[in-house]
Amino acid sequence: MDPNLLYWKGHGQSFLSRIQIWLNLLDPTVLIASNPEIEKAHSLLGSEEKSEKDAPALILALSSVHADSGAVLPLAFRPPALLPISAPLVVASFLPHTTVKPALFWQFMLQSYMVGFNYANRNSSSEPGKTTHLKQLILTVATVSYATCAGALPQIFINRLRIKSVPVQTFFRSILPVPLSAVLALFSVFTIRSEESETGIQVFDSNGNPVGFSKAAGEKAVRETALSRAALFGTTGAVPNLLLFLLRKTRLFQRNYLLATALHHMSLAFVLGLMIPISFSLFPQLGTIKRETLEEELQAAAVDGQLFYHRGV
């Protein structure tokens, strides 16, 4: 078991403790570290002798190294980079566009980045040779294309149906995008990480020893991550809209439309930043699966009633 997974095995057992850990791991300043520094920090994480002064190295390793392969993650797809990169894309995708083209463009940028993030942070322990590069490429292109078109549907409806009614426009601009963004986030994780459900992921016993590959664990890992991503984008879309709805009832914001719009954009970025550590903490990084849920050939290895698996991010 990789040192990153061994750390999660002994830490982050509760929701609040996981949030505290992720708040440290999502510090964007760790993005400036070089690959040699990250590799050195990862090797230090695997050593038995660690002290409080090694805390920065611990954060660097956990936030920058893939927990299955031990390889350094691409800079843009490390968890600390999620907020700086996705925040402007999320804000732009929720803008009230006047035509379809900008809506498609910003949805394409957002969905492309999230597909890359989901793939880079997946469980990569699946048995080799099961999925070809061509199949993964086709799956990636199809996911981005579908999610882009689906994400722009509200603007497409407004333009194609030439909707002028304010209440109907409000529905398509403010209400429909919220569940739609949650569903698309769910869809993206399920499709890009479908290999884990098809071929299985590596499971470990209580001592950290690999005991085989489990499709049931793969399905559970993908489902948990998909739900956490849906919570991230669904809440990010819902809370600012609710806040804007309440503020527009006050005289100040009724008279100043630009102030209300600026506040809506800032609240989108703020809620996104707040929800990232919360969504990452909804489920443990090192998940457990009960013996009765496992395949028959793996049940004997679960001597204490469960096995462990890497959920991914």
**What's 221-266 look like in SS3?**
HHHHHHHHHHHHHHHHHHHHHHHHHHHCCCHHHHHCHHHHHHHHHH
Orientation of helix 133-151 relative to helix 177-192, angle to 10°: 180
pLDDT per position as a tens digit, 153-172: 999 999 998 888 888 988 99
pLDDT per position as a tens digit, 286-310: 999 999 999 989 988 888 889 999 9
The mean per-residue pLDDT over the stretch 229-241 comes to 95
pLDDT per position as a tens digit, 130-146: 556 788 899 999 999 99
Of the ranges 13-27, 233-247, 256-270, 271-285, which one carries the lowest mean pLDDT score? Answer: 256-270
pLDDT per position as a tens digit, 170-179: 899 889 999 9
The mean per-residue pLDDT over the stretch 198-227 comes to 93
pLDDT grade, residue 69 (50/70/90)? confident
Instruction: Copy the structure tokens of residue 120.
Output: 């880079």
Phi, psi at 245, each rounded to 5°:
-60, -40
Domain ranges, residue 147: 3-310
The mean per-residue pLDDT over the stretch 183-199 comes to 94
Query: What pTM value is reported for the model?
Result: 0.93
CA gap 261, 248 in Å, rounded: 10
pLDDT per position as a tens digit, 36-52: 999 888 888 766 655 55
Q: What is the total count of domains within the chain?
A: 1
CA gap 234, 286 in Å, rounded: 25
* CB contact set of 90 (below 8 Å; sequence gap of 6+): 110, 233, 236, 268, 269, 272
Percent of the chain beyond pLDDT 90?
A: 63
CA gap 172, 180 in Å, rounded: 11
pLDDT at 275: 97
Q: Identify any residues that bridge with 71 across adjacent strands, giving them in sequence order.
A: none
CA gap 144, 148 in Å, rounded: 6
pLDDT at 49: 58
CA gap 108, 89 in Å, rounded: 10
pLDDT grade, residue 255 (50/70/90)? confident
**Cα angle at 293 between 143 and 117, to 5 degrees?**
25
H or E, element range at 122:
none
More confident residue, 126 or 224: 224
pLDDT at 303: 85
pLDDT at 128: 56
207: exposed, middle or buried (C-beta count within 10 Å: 0-12, 13-18, 19+)? Answer: exposed
Q: Is the pLDDT of residue 182 over 90?
A: yes
Q: Identify any residues that bridge with 288 across adjacent strands, giving them in sequence order.
A: 308
Of the ranges 3-7, 42-46, 243-247, 294-298, which one carries the lowest mean pLDDT score? Answer: 42-46
Of the ranges 13-17, 162-166, 233-237, 273-277, which one carries the lowest mean pLDDT score? Answer: 162-166
Q: Single out the residue of 109, 99, 25, 19 nearest to residue 65, CA to CA.
A: 25
Average pLDDT of the residues of the chain: 90
CA gap 90, 238 in Å, rounded: 13
